[in-house]
Amino acid sequence: MTKDEKDRELLLQREVPFARELVWKALTEPEHQNRWWGPDGFRNEGVTMDFRVGGAWTFEMVGPDGTRYPNHSVFKEITPSSRLVFDHGDGQRIWFESSITLQETGSGTLVILRHLFPSRESRDEVVEKYGAIEGGKQHLAKLEAYLKENLS
């Protein structure tokens, strides 16, 4: 990784005690992926997944108040059970490149997630334009969790 990429990327990893093929399945098959994507209180609707390089993966995240958030990604690399790369955006523009790498370990699978903005300029533009929307989404999720805890 070059120094320049550091301030426009998100890097996250976690080891999970499950076979790599199973993690891949949960990650790439819509019927499974819909069950954990979240956030809490959100559901995915109208999922289409054209699972090939150049194919699109689209769905709408529907918030607890009914607000719809379009998601539109295009696959750039598919290496079964090992690596998935896609450009993520909302159909209007690309926000960032997302790559998910799965590595077998002695006791399970290491999931490595990376989001990379194409440039600092595009990062700042996305943050400025979509930061508030993302913030609203998270606020709604917290509110939903709060209501569940206190009113049910």
Where on the chain is the footprint of other proteins (CB under 8 A)?
A: 7-10, 12, 14, 16, 18-19, 22-23, 25-27, 32, 35-40, 111, 113, 115, 123-124, 126-128, 131-132, 134-135, 138-139, 142-143, 145-146, 149-150
Contacts of 13 (CB under 8 A, 6+ apart): 110, 111, 112, 113
Place of tokens 């930061």: 131
Least separation, in Å, of the C-beta of 87 and other proteins? 16
Nearer to other proteins, 2 or 52 (CB): 2
Least separation, in Å, of the C-beta of 54 and other proteins? 25
Cβ atoms of residues 76 and 85 within 8 Å: yes
Least separation, in Å, of the C-beta of 139 and other proteins? 7
Contacts of 23 (CB under 8 A, 6+ apart): 16, 102, 109, 111
